Amino acid sequence: MNYSLTEEQQMIVDTCRELAREKIKPVREKYDEEGIFPWDIVKEMAAADLMGLFIPEQYGGLGGGILELCLAVEELSKVCGGISLAMASTALGTFPILLFGNDEQKAKYLPDIAAGKKLAAFGLTEANAGSDAGNMLTTAARDGDHYVLNGTKQWITNGGEAEIYTVIAMTNKVKGTRGATAFIVEKGTKGFEFGKKENKMGIRASATRELVFTNCRVPAKNILSKEGMGFIVAVNTLNSSRPGVAAQALGIAAGALDAAVHYSRQRVQFGQPISSIQAVQHMLANMATEVEAARALIYVAARTIDGGAKSFAKISAMCKLFASEVAMRVTTEAVQVFGGYGYMKEYPVEKMMRDAKITQIYEGTNQIQRNEIALQLIKEAAKAKK
């Protein structure tokens, strides 16, 4: 399909495709089995100038946007959705600084992220505050020119590996969602430690840990925007980052489709390749159609955001919802095409199916995405009536 990519964007796709095939594919099974964080691959990404795709040139990045990030994540995820998260989750942790950081904060943190010297992470979720983020218990109390953080964040991607964390904490519980504040917290800050590393079903090459704050003193100058703006920071961050999750889901689905097509041409049953059996052809056709539809929606969403649209919550939620649902269906069908072999770990589609599931859950469950889409539709209808 022709998606009118620029020469530079096509170069990003080609670079990521080559890196994925030559560097990631040989190690993906080992990293998945052992749960190893891919620092060697991160170094390769940094050497290829991929970690700063979405960061402005003045801070050492390539000056791209959401689309460039999505193109890279999609290609890397075709081979391994877990390893691609080192980049995608760093983007999630960086967006709050890009969107709400002041000049001093951007100058301090963005160059090292763009160079791949430091990874970032986003600390919002807690044990009792997932979709209900307003129920968070992590607090930040003012003490002179510092804030003292106490609490625990859970299921934080890149946790323990990242150096730079954007953390949402309650500075005034009485105000509810208007009482949250966003902070930049650096690894190594006294009182900031890491809890257990989660043993996950999928994306096992990605580190997922607790962030534990015990009387952790963070300079007041590390506030993003201002006190009480934490949920505004979080919502805008997630609206900007969801196409990246969608791109991860798309990549996983596209990789599973490629594997299924290749296998169907090699596997002989009843004296012929199973690709000549109409039932299999229809499965492949449906898988391919859904993958292409997801890609089109993601690219439109990314271009909408990059184009400076004031409102993009609906299309951002739509692309994340649709692509992740496609990823689950396509990977499940790919396992079916492989038959018994698809259930075995020596073939990649079993891993792809496990990796796909999380895309329906994190950065807002798909039920929450449907809520958001419906809310925006209702708002648009009410506005149009006026």
What is the set of active-site residues? 363
Q: What is d(CA 10, CA 208) in angstroms, rounded to the nearest whole number?
A: 32
Q: What is the DSSP secondary-structure string of 263-324?
A: HHHH-EETTEEGGGSHHHHHHHHHHHHHHHHHHHHHHHHHHHHHTT-S--HHHHHHHHHHHH
Q: Name the amino acid, one letter, at 362.
A: Y
Q: Tokens 């600084």 appear where? A: 97
Name every residue whose Cβ is closer than 8 Å to that of residue 23 and which is 6 or more positions away in sequence: 40, 41, 44
209: DSSP letter: E
Q: Are 358 and 252 in contact (CB under 8 A)?
A: no
Q: CA-based Rg of the chain, rounded to a whole angstrom? A: 21
Nearest to 104 by CA among 234, 222, 226, 220: 222
Strand partners, 209: 156, 197
Query: Would you give the end-to-end CA distance of the chain in angstroms?
Result: 40
Q: Are 242 and 316 in contact (CB under 8 A)?
A: yes
Positive or negative CA dihedral for 115, 110, 137, 85? negative
Q: Dig out the tokens for 142 from the structure.
A: 């003012």
Helix (H, G, I), strand (E, B) or coil at 14: helix
Q: What is d(CA 32, CA 116) in angstroms, rounded to the nearest whole number?
A: 22
CA 87 to chain centre: 8
Q: Dig out the tokens for 329 from the structure.
A: 């269906």
b/e sequence 87-116, b meaning 16+ C-beta within 10 Å? bbbbbbbbbbbbebbeeebbebbbbbbbbb
